[in-house]
Amino acid sequence: MSSRDSILGHIRQNKPEATALPAVTTFASNFDNTEDKFREMLGAIYTEVIVVKNREELAQKAEELYKGIVNRATTIPALSAWADFSLNVSDPHELETVEIAILEAEFGVAENGAVWISDKYLPHRALPFITQNLAFVIPRNALVDNMHEAYVRLQDTLGWGCFIAGPSKTADIEQSLVIGAHGARSMVVFLLEGE
């Protein structure tokens, strides 16, 4: 018998009995209005929320908010005429000059203002972290109360994704809040009606 077989044999003999997993507990948030709570939380983390009726109004708002800015990128076909920066790059380092990225995202979480974005709508994972200014477009009816509901919604999701809440911020040095220290300096969330 080899040393390996001897060790594995001892491990099999001393294997503890299986322990049942604990029951999953969920917590209801009971917000009076999920969208109002989402707006409140995003306002507290320096993020503007704008409701748009359709993709045409979204294009008008994008032009209005980001007029004169160059290196505009988007993953939304309705904004392709507005964008002047192609995301068809092979090296994500080429994204370093993007000033504003408007990206489609799946849903938002009211309790903390987080937005879920995944590779479903994102050609480069670095984009929301390297752009100077960031905007998300999510359906107005795609808001959940809390992270428990968010994870239920994501339980069958495959691939990469992350939650992003507000622009980059840190208060590491002398507890002084700095916005845009490690990523986007500003963030806007467009709530799109009727989708």
Cα gap 94→80, rounded to integer Å: 19
What is the rounded (10 degree) CA torsion for 42, 45, 50, 54?
-70
Judge whether residue 109 has pLDDT over 90.
yes
Is 20 inside any structural domain?
no
- At residue 48, what is the residue type? E
Judge whether residue 143 has pLDDT over 90.
yes
In percent, the amount of the chain with pLDDT more than 90 equals 70
| Cβ atoms 55, 194 nearer than 8 A | no
Judge whether residue 168 has pLDDT over 80.
no
Is 134 inside any structural domain?
yes
Count how many domains the chain has: 1
Cα gap 103→110, rounded to integer Å: 19
User: Can you give the pLDDT at residue 175?
Assistant: 75
Mean pLDDT to the nearest integer, 117-136: 93
173-194 per-residue burial string, b: 16 or more CB within 10 A, e: under 16: eeeeeeebeebbbbbbbbbbee
User: In which domain, by residue range, is 68 found?
Assistant: 32-192
Cα gap 192→195, rounded to integer Å: 7
Q: Is the pTM of this model over 0.95?
A: no
Judge whether residue 176 has pLDDT over 90.
no
Is 188 inside any structural domain?
yes
How do strand 133-139 and strand 100-104 relate by DSSP bridges?
A: parallel
Is 166 inside any structural domain?
yes
Residue scoring higher pLDDT (101 or 21):
101
Closest among 61, 64, 92, 91 to 76, alpha carbons compared: 61
Is 11 inside any structural domain?
no
Is 131 inside any structural domain?
yes
| Cβ atoms 166, 46 nearer than 8 A | yes
CATH (domain of 161): 3.40.50.10420
Mean pLDDT of all residues belonging to the chain: 91
Reduced to 3 states (helix: H, G, I; strand: E, B; else coil), residue 20 is coil
Closest among 102, 104, 115 to 153, alpha carbons compared: 115
Judge whether residue 187 has pLDDT over 90.
yes
Closest among 118, 124, 114, 128 to 163, alpha carbons compared: 114
Is 23 inside any structural domain?
no
Q: Grade residue 100 by pLDDT with cuts at 50, 70 and 90.
A: very high
User: Can you give the pLDDT at residue 162?
Assistant: 95
Is 73 inside any structural domain?
yes
In angstroms, how far is CA 172 from the centroid of its own chain? 23
